[in-house]
Structure 1
Amino acid sequence: MLPEHATLPVRPHRLAIAVATCGALLLTAGCGTDEGGTASEQVAADAGAGSTEPSATAAASPSGSESASASPSASATPSDSTSPTTRATPSDAGEAGDAADGDTAGGTRPGSGTGTGTGTGTGTQPDPAPGADAPDFPVPVEAGNATQLITVEARGSYATVTAWAKGSSGWKEQFSTGSGRVGSNGVTNGATRRQGTWTTPTGTYTITEGFGVEASGTSMPYHVVTDDDWWVEDPESKFYNSMHSAQGADFPLTESGDRGSEHLIGYPTQYAKALVIDFNRWPATPGRGAGIFLHVNGSGATAGCVSVPRATMDRFMNWVEPSAHPRIAIG
Structure 2
Amino acid sequence: MSVPEPVPRPCASRRPPYAVCAALFLLLTGCGAGGTAAGPTATRAGSHAPVATAGAAGPGVAAARGPAAPTGPRQIRLLGQKVRAAIPAESRQALVVTGISPDSSEATAVLYTRDDPTVGWQPATGPWPAHNALYGWTDEHWMDDLRSPVGVYGLTAAGGLLEAPDTQLPYVQSPDFAVSGEGFEGEPLEGAFDYVIAIDYNRVPGASPLDPTRPLGEERGGGIWLHVDHGGPTQGCISLPEDRMEELLRILDPAKVPVIVMGDEAALAR
Bin for the TM-score computed over the shorter chain:
0.5 to 0.7
Q: Which residue of 2 aligns with 1:153?
A: 98
Aligned-partner Cα distance in 1 for 2:240–2:78: 19
Question: Cα distance 1:131–1:285, how it changes in 2: closer, same or farther (>3 A)?
Answer: farther
Does structure 1 conserve the Cα–Cα contact (< 8 Å) formed by 2:179 and 2:192? no
Q: Which residue of 1 aligns with 2:87?
A: 143
Question: Cα distance 1:135–1:266, how it changes in 2: closer, same or farther (>3 A)?
Answer: closer
Does structure 2 conserve the Cα–Cα contact (< 8 Å) formed by 1:150 and 1:329? yes
Shift of 1:130: 5.1
Does structure 2 conserve the Cα–Cα contact (< 8 Å) formed by 1:133 and 1:166? no
For residues 259-280 of structure 1, the C-alpha deviation after alignment (integer angstroms, 9 at most, x for no partner) is: xxxxx22255111111000001
- TM-score normalised by the chain length of structure 2: 0.58
Residue identity in the other structure for 1:302: T
Shift of 1:284: 3.6
Aligned-partner Cα distance in 2 for 1:136–1:301: 27
Aligned-partner Cα distance in 2 for 1:186–1:131: 34
After TM superposition, the structure 1 = structure 2 runs for residues 92-107 of structure 1, keeping only pairs within 5 Å, are: none
Q: Which residue of 2 aligns with 1:184?
A: 134
Q: 1:326 aligns with which of 232, 238, 258?
A: 258
Q: Which residue of 2 aligns with 1:199?
A: 147
Q: Which residue of 2 aligns with 1:265?
A: 178
Shift of 1:299: 2.4
For residues 164-188 of structure 1, the C-alpha deviation after alignment (integer angstroms, 9 at most, x for no partner) is: 1002221110112342000010011
Aligned-partner Cα distance in 1 for 2:76–2:135: 29
Shift of 1:321: 0.6
Give 1 or 2 for the bigger CA radius of gyration: 2
Q: Does 1:291 align with 2:223?
A: yes
Aligned-partner Cα distance in 2 for 1:288–1:301: 20
Does structure 2 conserve the Cα–Cα contact (< 8 Å) formed by 1:177 and 1:308? no
Residue identity in the other structure for 1:172: Q
After TM superposition, the structure 1 = structure 2 runs for residues 276-315 of structure 1, keeping only pairs within 5 Å, are: 276-282=198-204, 283-315=215-247
SS class of match (1:311):
helix
After TM superposition, the structure 1 = structure 2 runs for residues 82-101 of structure 1, keeping only pairs within 5 Å, are: none
Aligned-partner Cα distance in 2 for 1:135–1:272: 31
Question: Cα distance 1:137–1:146, how it changes in 2: closer, same or farther (>3 A)?
Answer: farther
Aligned-partner Cα distance in 2 for 1:265–1:195: 22
Shift of 1:212: 0.5
Residue identity in the other structure for 1:198: L
Aligned-partner Cα distance in 1 for 2:231–2:93: 28
Does structure 2 conserve the Cα–Cα contact (< 8 Å) formed by 1:138 and 1:153? no
The structure with higher relative contact order (CA 8 Å, sep 6+) is 1
- TM-score normalised by the chain length of structure 1: 0.47
Q: Does 1:175 align with 2:125?
A: yes
Does structure 1 conserve the Cα–Cα contact (< 8 Å) formed by 2:178 and 2:191? no
Aligned length in residues: 165
Shift of 1:131: 2.3
Structure 2: 5+ residue runs without aligned partners? 1-69, 181-189, 205-214, 264-270
Q: Which residue of 2 aligns with 1:220?
A: 169
Residue identity in the other structure for 1:305: C
Residue identity in the other structure for 1:319: I
Shift of 1:209: 0.2
Runs of 4 or more, structure 1, over 6 Å off, are none
Aligned-partner Cα distance in 2 for 1:174–1:204: 19
Aligned-partner Cα distance in 1 for 2:191–2:79: 29
**Identical aligned residues as a percent:** 25
Question: Cα distance 1:314–1:322, how it changes in 2: closer, same or farther (>3 A)?
Answer: same
Does structure 2 conserve the Cα–Cα contact (< 8 Å) formed by 1:133 and 1:171? yes
SS class of match (2:178):
helix
Aligned-partner Cα distance in 2 for 1:199–1:287: 14
Structure 1: 5+ residue runs without aligned partners? 1-128, 230-263
Residue identity in the other structure for 2:170: P
Q: Which residue of 2 aligns with 1:63?
A: none
Q: Which residue of 2 aligns with 1:52?
A: none
